[in-house]
Amino acid sequence: MELNVNQFKKDYLRRLKAKSGRPLEESTVWDQYHALGSLIKEYMTDDWVGTSIAYNKLDTRQVFYFSMEFLTGKLLCDYMHAMGVFEVVEQGLTDLGLSLETISEAERDQGLGNGGLGRLAACFMDSMASVGIPGHGIGIRFNFGLFEQKIINGYQVEFPDRWLENRNVWEVKMPDKAVEVHFGGSVRQDYIGGRNVFFLENTEVVMAVPYDTPIPGYQNGIVNTLRLYSAEAKTPDFDLAGFSRGDYNRVFSEKYAVEAISQVLYPDDAYENGRLLRLKQEYFFVSAGLQGIMRSFKRSGLPIRDFHKYNAIHINDTHPALAIPELMRLLMDIEELNWEEAWKITTQTISYTNHTLLHEAMEKWPVDVMKSLLPRIFMIIEEIDRRFNQITERLYHQVDPRRSQQMAIIGDGQVRMAHLCIVGSHSVNGVAKLHSELLATKELKPFNEFYAGKFNNKTNGITHRRWLLHSNPRLSAHITEAIGDEWIKEPESLGRLMKYHSDPAYLEKLMAIKRANKVDFSNYLHKTSGVSIDPDSIYDIQIKRLHEYKRQTLNILHIMSMYLRLKEDPDLDLIPRTFLFGAKAAPGYQTAKQTIKLINAVGDLINADKDVNEKLKVVFVENYGVTVAEHIIPSADISEQISTASKEASGTGNMKLMMNGAVTVATLDGANIEILEAVGKDNIFLFGLTAEEVYRYTENHSYKAFEIYQNNPLLRRAIDMMTDGTLNVSPEEFYLIRSALLDHNDAFFVLKDFESYANIQKKACEAYRDKKRWSAMSLVNIAKSGIFSSDRTIRDYNRDIWKAPVFETLKGSL
């Protein structure tokens, strides 16, 4: 948009006064933030309204991305970049004696997600708008996002994330678009006008009230919408008669029970905890979202039989799986279509992404729970299952009689949500080549054989605008100086940087930028936690959720072994290295929590020991999340992507780090494999078992972890360090970690991969010594990262699955 500094200052001062009731001199940082946010939102309003009018007017096919999680982070600076007003606003604020940096710190992270899955949804929102696809998000407006993590005495302690405490400037409440969602009750069946009709009776009614947040595309005038639903009790707020009789508890407990639905995000990543409230959350937003879509579709006057031609609904993992029976319900019970018509529309509307092969993450709901919470929905699932079984029975009963049971949606007293998603959608995709291949050839093989062509791959991506353009301004400027700014819209043109591959001046500047970013991060860390780190050491970074399969344990055991070697030989020629960890553990995941304590205990030992602390430092960065990541990633030298092969579906942190010039230490897992393909084997450090080997060891039970423990003295000493008193803790402190490795035969092959990990770490350090070589490696990583932009991912989804139109701009369509 067109905006000059003077106009901005005028607008801003007026807005600040109106919002805070105070003049500039007396305003607080929060007042300043709030005024700025609301002004930026207002600047966006014309485009926002215009976009939705244009989509309606053009009767365009639209995409709705249903996701339990949207891990958005802060929005202010992102939005200013998207609108092309960043410099003007920054200048205007400086003129007024304010600092944009300070003001943007006042914004709370929108942390409505656990990790990769939720962050992916947020990247997709940005890319859909920027690429010009009519695509919107549908989810839940949790009052509390993912918990805030504090490290107290080395332990993770969780505190509620009160992100809405001071209101949210970006959202707009839409009470007129509220819909009712029904739980419980019973189904009455009637035969009217020659057809079976179903009525839900005596249900508990919850109001789903949408809050809309604008999602601006990058300087294209397109503004899509993220719609998050909040649960409210149906008016009146409370029963006044009961209240006056003094029956406060009952009156309020009903209201709280209803509102509990959108109260908190479950803090489990890649793990299903099976709570009833969770199932309520799932149905709540899916039903509300579909009713909203249906309502506006009907307003358009288009025939209901064409629903799938105008709406593509994507479900992010199985959490929104109930979209399938719910859409069937709306089409049959409300729109009066018959089963076959409704089924055709539903399956052609819905597509599904699988994000994990871990069995503990596969959602299953007990039949009796589903039946009593959602009786009509359960009936529909049963019918889908019955019809599907009929076909598989007929096909397989002779060749493989067990197969149709294996493929059933309902089995062993449970509803298997992944099966429901596969049967009820027209596309099933994995999130990286290896993952999609394992889905099709192993985990979901019978389905892949049954549905030829339904399974496909869509390798994940990240928005290079947030993760490079905004969070690494120095590097962005250096890139633009060399190859122009086309990469912002066409990230694959980052490839042109390859011509600087052997240009000493360019590479030197690249390293100077890395150094400056490392100084920035060390200042940030010092300011936020009091810890000092040395920008001349290697920053070796593992940032992601804490999970056994991600193997933070491998990293810390290797650090312990380095410590032991250094103690023995203090003159060991090591380049000083700072190991940084950032990770939240699910509050109920004890092994993961012990790993946090272990990292901190090892850090306490090493950082205080003068024999080693010139060369080694271990830091656990508190409360890892989107904003912390934006500070760390530009400073990274080494990116640790060391999951057990076959366990990490894709990973997306790996992409963010390479894009910022970090070199990856990687197993052949998830998207690491595609990073390898992109950069070539000389620009990545590979180690460890392959997925095939992991499967083989698991299947033939030939792996013996204890033997490795016995035969590798250094590793044994590192493991024993957990219990022998070297660390300042009781011998039981790390009981679960030790027992997982030794008593339970190390399910994630930490011991098996230890030696090759230690070797590759040595190689990485040698490479780092050679500054020229390292800077060239770093450059290749940046240059080849364009394919990991979520713009590419979104274009792939749209080309193969959604098939929505792509608009360069909507200007002129009104």
Catalytic residue list: 355, 544-545, 550, 652, 656
Distance CA 445, CA 630 (A): 39
Q: By C-beta, is 431 or 605 nearer to ligand GLG?
A: 431
Non-local (6+) Cβ contacts of 212 within 8 A are 171, 172, 174, 225, 226, 227
Q: By C-beta, is 262 or 650 nearer to ligand GLG?
A: 650
CB of 778 to ligand GLG, least distance (A): 23
| 293, 299, 300, 302: CA torsion to nearest 10 | 90
Instruction: Specify the pairing of strand 186-192 against strand 195-201.
Output: antiparallel
Q: By C-beta, is 68 or 560 nearer to ligand GLG?
A: 68
Q: Which two three-digit tokens encode residue 215?
A: 């999602």
How many Cα neighbours within 13 Å face the side chain of 134? 21
Distance CA 319, CA 273 (A): 12
Taking CB atoms, the residue at the shortest distance from ligand GLG is 116
CB of 358 to ligand GLG, least distance (A): 8
Q: By C-beta, is 139 or 670 nearer to ligand GLG?
A: 670
- Calculate the alpha carbon distances from 123 to 81, 522, 596, 653 in Å: 15, 27, 28, 12
Q: Find tokens 């029904």 and name the residue.
A: 182
Q: By C-beta, is 355 or 478 nearer to ligand GLG?
A: 355
Distance CA 647, CA 358 (A): 7
Q: By C-beta, is 169 or 666 nearer to ligand GLG?
A: 666
CB of 278 to ligand GLG, least distance (A): 15
Burial class for 367, CB neighbours closer than 10 Å (0-12, 13-18, 19+): middle
CB of 146 to ligand GLG, least distance (A): 12
Q: What is the DSSP secondary structure assignment for residue 412, as one 8-state letter?
A: T
CB of 521 to ligand GLG, least distance (A): 24
Distance CA 723, CA 383 (A): 56
- Evaluated on CA atoms 223, 229, 232, 236, the torsion sign reads positive
| Partners of 267 in beta bridges | none
Q: By C-beta, is 431 or 556 nearer to ligand GLG?
A: 431
- Evaluated on CA atoms 516, 518, 524, 527, the torsion sign reads negative
Burial class for 406, CB neighbours closer than 10 Å (0-12, 13-18, 19+): middle
Q: By C-beta, is 649 or 810 nearer to ligand GLG?
A: 649
Strand order in the sheet with 364-366: 364-366, 414-416, 410-411
CB of 131 to ligand GLG, least distance (A): 19
Instruction: Specify the pairing of strand 577-582 against strand 538-543.
Output: parallel
Non-local (6+) Cβ contacts of 309 within 8 A are 61
Q: What is the b/e burial string over 170-201, where b = at least 16 CB atoms within 10 angstroms of the residue's CB? A: bbeeeeebbbebbbebeeeeeeeeeeeeeebe
CB of 355 to ligand GLG, least distance (A): 4
Q: What count of residues does the chain have?
A: 814
Distance CA 125, CA 216 (A): 9
Instruction: Specify the pairing of strand 577-582 against strand 616-621.
Output: parallel
Helix pair angle (116-131, 76-83), 10° resolution: 20
CB of 243 to ligand GLG, least distance (A): 44
* Structural contact between residues 409 and 420, judged by C-beta atoms closer than 8 angstroms: yes
Q: By C-beta, is 161 or 648 nearer to ligand GLG?
A: 648
CB of 460 to ligand GLG, least distance (A): 5
Q: By C-beta, is 639 or 650 nearer to ligand GLG?
A: 650
CB of 117 to ligand GLG, least distance (A): 4
Q: By C-beta, is 222 or 431 nearer to ligand GLG?
A: 431
Burial class for 573, CB neighbours closer than 10 Å (0-12, 13-18, 19+): exposed
CB of 234 to ligand GLG, least distance (A): 34
What are the residues binding ligand GLG (CB under 6 A)? 115-117, 120, 269-270, 355-356, 431, 460, 648-652, 670
